[in-house]
Amino acid sequence: MKRTSGSTDGFGLAEVMFSTIIFAAISLGLILGFISLERNYAATTDFATNHADEMRISDYLALDLRRAVALQAVHNDTTIFIPRFYASDGSTQTPILDGNGDVYYGDPGSTVRIHYYLSGGTIFRQQDSATPTPLAVNVQDFVFDATDSGKVVSTRITFNPTFVAGRASADATAATAFYNTTLLRNARSDSDVSVY
Amino acid sequence: MTITVLSLLAAEVIRLVSLKYQSALQTASWQEALLAAESGIDLGIVELRKSLFPSPNQGWDGWNNTTTENPHIVNHSLSTVVPNTAMTIEVNVDSVDPVSFVDSHNGWQYWRIRTVGTMPINGTATVTDNKQDNRLRKLSLRWERFTGGSLMTRAFRTDEGAHVSRRVEAVVRPVSSFNQAILSVGTIDLTNQNIVVDSYDSSDPTKSTGGLYDVTKRQENGDIATDGNLIEAGNAHIYGDVATNSGTVSGAANVTGTERDDFYQEPIPVGAPTWASFNSSVTNVTGTTTITGNSTSGTSVSRYQLSSINLSGSKTLTLAGNADGSPSYIELYVTGDISFSGTSQLIVKPGVNVKIYFQGNVDVGGNGILNSNNQPSDLQLFGIQPINDTPRHVNLGGNGQIVAAVYAPNHDITINGGGSDGHVFGSVVGSTVTMNGVTNLHYDEKLSSLGMINSYKIVSWFEESR
């Protein structure tokens, strides 16, 4: 009777080790790839979110600057004064001539103070003494400035991108700058210049 | 597993990109809505300016125009879709109040312009993932966001989809025809006289002395501007700005203000007065004559229509008022030419405020004009738009100083000064302006709130964002 080879045949040690190394290498590659993808995704999302925050803050600033009658701007802190268009009951007020060719709402010289500032990683917009409204959160790396040129005010907002490992370089931060130049429509009470 | 992870990643990326794309579309519509709203302000100002032109001027044609009484309020409204766009503009121009919205100094009407600019939002009607974005932009996706007592409310129409509206309220005030020291449609030539152009304000004691020019209180609003492209400044010392329409300024080494080349301001032509009645006691002036005024302006007894004024020799035309020098008013409408020669003279007595509308040419020589008040605002000369653009001129000169405000945008104006003492006080607006021998031009800033209304200026602007 002829004896046949049985199921006890297997891989040799060398084969097992070789295949294990290949599997480990592929797995490591995949894991590194996934980690890289995840980091890239997180960085992209972060950049997109920060960019949206920049746009929102810039649009808020521009909205108030267009109707500004006075302005005080320092680093990460901008105060804009706008006409007191609304009465205390929320209704719109009738404009009143001041006798010198200009117009005011409410009481003479009365304005609404809009304060933009960065505090605790959040940029707030506060109207008079009302509860501050957070415009963007987790933005401790944001820097915003307003440059007063009289008839126009330019704003610049930057953040530190997380694409760069560790601390972002000055160039990388500068590349995130979001600029806006706004023509102040109202004749300014704190300046000699007038728009029209 | 790899395919699954990659698919999930791809799905998330697509979701994020879609959100950002939608947000970008909405933001773009929001920005364009402001352009629409501000275009509405422009539309209102255009109609206000059109209504300044001599009739027929087509002002407010196509608008819904209403007037209510007690109180008397004028209202103009318009709703229009900008051709070839989906942009909608709604404008409302109103006089607000018959008393408080009129400047008590000169009776000028201010106007309030309220506009709503609306743009449709492309894409799906979904809100963004950030509530501050939504609070800022107030998109009307399924209902109108601006309701409940806000400025110019509008209902969400069933025939319109998601959209965004922005609302602006502006107040405009009239701008005087005498808003600059010199304004010309064409060339300004100061003829290399090293002329000094500056300003003062006869109504402000800090900018004048006793209502008169004081060099120690010199102001720097002696602006010179042309709709043309050439100002021959002739090394003038100009205490003010200089502006051309894409042109050049020669000899402008001594300009204290800014020099710009983007100026254009169409002067409103002067129409012939359409008085229902006037004083017919004097109809022509060829000899020594006295014309008397009245303590009330705009009355028929103080209005005269003359065929011409032609004086020679030592003849005079005296414009007289009250004996005590209290304010009185005279308006002359001269349908022909005005001429003073020899030693003839035009004399404006104290307290008399004179406006002269002239159809023809003006040649003032002789002893020139004696404006006793020494106030340019008390002698205003208006050149009526000639028929068929017939060339017209105004030559002002004579002995002594010239104290007057001249608005003749269809006339070529030449002012002949008196050498080192050749002072002109006032403002000059002409088709072209030439200064011969004038060494000093002092613009009285008080004129900026007098004279004809030549345009409108935005003095208040507010976008509702609540």
Model confidence at A196, in pLDDT bands (50, 70, 90)? very low
Contact B136 A134 (CB under 8 A): no
What pLDDT sits at residue B421?
67
Q: Which of A34, A35, A53, A97 to mutate: most B Cβ within 10 Å?
A: A97
Q: How far apart are the first and last CA of chain B?
A: 50
Model confidence at B409, in pLDDT bands (50, 70, 90)? very high
Rounded Cα distance between B33 and B238, Å, is 43
Instruction: Report DSSP state, residue B96.
Output: -
- Closest residue by Cα to residue B281 from B259, B300, B254: B300
Question: Do B382 and B355 touch, CB atoms closer than 8 A?
Answer: yes
- A126: domain range? 49-195
Per CB-CB distance under 8 Å, the chain B contacts of A82 are 462
Position A127 in a domain: yes
Instruction: Report DSSP state, residue B102.
Output: B
Picking from A12-26, A35-49, B87-101, B421-435, which range would have the lowest pLDDT averaged per residue? A35-49
What pLDDT sits at residue A6?
53
Position A187 in a domain: yes
Chain A touched by B173 (CB under 8 Å): yes
Contact A66 B132 (CB under 8 A): no
Least CA distance to B24: which residue of chain A?
A52
The pLDDT of residue A155 is above 50 = yes
Q: State how many domains chain A has.
A: 1
Model confidence at A4, in pLDDT bands (50, 70, 90)? low
Two tokens, residue B202: 């006869």
CA A99: distance to chain centroid?
Answer: 43
Q: What residues 127-146 of chain A have any CB closer than 8 A to a CB of chain B?
A: 133-136
Main-chain phi, psi angles of B338, to 5 degrees: -120, 130
The pLDDT of residue B395 is above 60 = yes
The residue written with tokens 């002409």 in the block is B430
Contact B457 A48 (CB under 8 A): no
Position A26 in a domain: no
Picking from A107-111, A168-172, B33-37, B417-421, which range would have the lowest pLDDT averaged per residue? B417-421
Chain B touched by A58 (CB under 8 Å): no
Position A29 in a domain: no
Q: What is the pLDDT of residues B260-270, one digit of tens each?
A: 888 998 899 99
What percentage of chain B exceeds 70 in pLDDT? 96
Question: Do B159 and B433 touch, CB atoms closer than 8 A?
Answer: no
Global confidence as pTM: 0.86
CA B439: distance to chain centroid?
Answer: 28
Average of pLDDT values for B90-101?
Answer: 90
The pLDDT of residue B150 is above 60 = no
Two tokens, residue A61: 């600033």
Question: Do B443 and B199 touch, CB atoms closer than 8 A?
Answer: yes
Per CB-CB distance under 8 Å, the chain B contacts of A30 are 2
Higher pLDDT, B63 or A196: B63
Neighbours of B226 (CB within 10 A): 26
Two tokens, residue A108: 């003479």
3-state secondary structure of B248: strand
* Stretch (H or E) spanning B47: helix B2-50
Tell me the HSE value of B164 on the side-chain side, using a 13 A CA sphere: 26
- Closest residue by Cα to residue B430 from B136, B173, B132, B225: B225
Question: Do A160 and A175 touch, CB atoms closer than 8 A?
Answer: no
Model confidence at A151, in pLDDT bands (50, 70, 90)? confident
Model confidence at A192, in pLDDT bands (50, 70, 90)? very low
In sequence order, the 6+-apart residues with CB closer than 8 A to the CB of A173 are A158, A159, A160, A161
Find the CB nearest B173 among A45, A56, A101. Answer: A101
Average of pLDDT values for A98-113?
Answer: 90
What pLDDT sits at residue B387?
86
3-state secondary structure of B382: strand
Average of pLDDT values for B163-189?
Answer: 92
Question: How large is the ipTM?
Answer: 0.83
Biggest CA-to-CA distance, chain A: 126
Q: What is the pLDDT of residues B294-348, one digit of tens each?
A: 999 989 999 999 999 999 999 999 999 998 989 999 999 999 999 999 889 999 9
Position A160 in a domain: yes
Position A145 in a domain: yes
Contact B460 A91 (CB under 8 A): no
A6: closest CA of chain B, how far (Å): 35
Least CA distance to A102: which residue of chain B?
B459
Q: What is the pLDDT of residues B379-389, one digit of tens each?
A: 999 999 998 88
Average of pLDDT values for B236-258?
Answer: 86
Position A78 in a domain: yes
B14: closest CA of chain A, how far (Å): 12
Chain B touched by A99 (CB under 8 Å): yes
Tell me the HSE value of A146 on the side-chain side, using a 13 A CA sphere: 28
Position A169 in a domain: yes
CA B41: distance to chain centroid?
Answer: 16
